[in-house]
Structure 1
């Protein structure tokens, strides 16, 4: 019991340390590999949850934050012509792009929780979170683009693809069940015929 208690305290202490480190600004920890790994794991978990969400629910009806309307309005006011179905990384990461995004992001400091946390963002919204299709972005940038993708119908492609696969899988399963039932019924009929024939032979 004492050993278990000690281990629990150690794990608890590590979690508190990681949580504290993650709450610090990036410059506080430099290139610490443990912290970078913790950030990456958190971002990946967030990405997996979000992708499951847009795969199982029509994205047009999703609400990602309490201020979706404000985020979308501000986003399209500032980035009216930005193409969001397939993102150009230069529109997010170049120096000129950063200058334009910075004031937009800072508007949501204190409004959106953890607005500047690192988050994974898909470049092509019709595809999943692959290495080639993913970039790192501040959380508010993720929200702005994904809210727009949901409202403008671009994320519908993911939802439709997943739903089609599930329907086909269900139909195939039903066909197999029907075939199995038919085979079993046929086998029973054959057995009944054999019994009838044997009974007739005995009477003779």
Structure 2
């Protein structure tokens, strides 16, 4: 089943996995089936996102109904953060987490799954890969990808797709 991912699940198992994904992470221990389901969902999200970047000019792409607010708050809180090529320390260090936490929590009631683990590309000119991806909360992904779209960092992905 591990090689097939979610495709290896029957209808009842898939429904149970989908229901399980709606519960908070603290509800679970280290269940490998659940970890696989979370990884599959994050991978699917990454595929959809990259396909969008290749298909639609990024400067006109809207990722959420809250794009304007997310971008405004992001740049207010992180005016100097480079989004073209990310330094993982600016996202994952203890000091960075302290700075990101209030920003992320401000969207808790506004954005479904704001804290869901999502793959984020480190270098905006590259594809999703093991070397070019980290796991980030969904609101952090949205903030950075919205900034990349508006600031032209994702234009190269669109132009390469041709």
TM over 0.5: yes
Aligned to 2:98: 99
**Could you say which structure has the greater relative contact order, defined with CA pairs below 8 angstroms and 6 or more residues apart?**
2
CA distance in 2, matches of 1:104, 1:16: 33
C-alpha separation in 2, matches of 1:22 and 1:139: 14
Which residue is equivalent to 1:27?
26
Q: CA deviation at 1:15?
A: 2.3
Residue equivalent to 1:161: 160
Aligned to 2:84: 85
Q: Extract structure 1 runs of 4+ deviating beyond 3 A.
A: none
Deviations 1:86-111 (Å, cap 9, x if unpaired)?
00000000111011111100111121
Inter-partner Cα distance in structure 1 for 2:50 and 2:140: 17
SS at match of 1:160: helix
- Unpaired runs of at least 5, structure 1: 1-9, 164-204
More off after superposition, 18-27 vs 39-48? 18-27
What TM-score results when the alignment is normalised by the length of structure 1? 0.73
1:136 to partner: Cα distance: 0.3
* Unpaired stretches in structure 2, ≥5 consecutive residues: 1-8
Aligned to 2:5: none
Q: Does 1:119 align with 2:121?
A: no
The 5 Å alignment of 1:48-63 reads: 48-63=47-62
1:162 shift after superposition: 1.4
The Cα shift of 1:12 comes to 3.4
Per the alignment, in what secondary structure is the counterpart of residue 46 of structure 1? helix
In 2, the alpha carbon distance for the partners of 1:133 and 1:12 equals 34
Separation in 1, partners of 2:136, 2:30: 18
Q: Which residue of 2 aligns with 1:132?
A: 131
Distance 1:29 1:13 in 2: 20
Q: Which protein is bigger by CA-based radius of gyration?
A: 1
The answer for the alignment partner of 2:64 in structure 1 is: 65
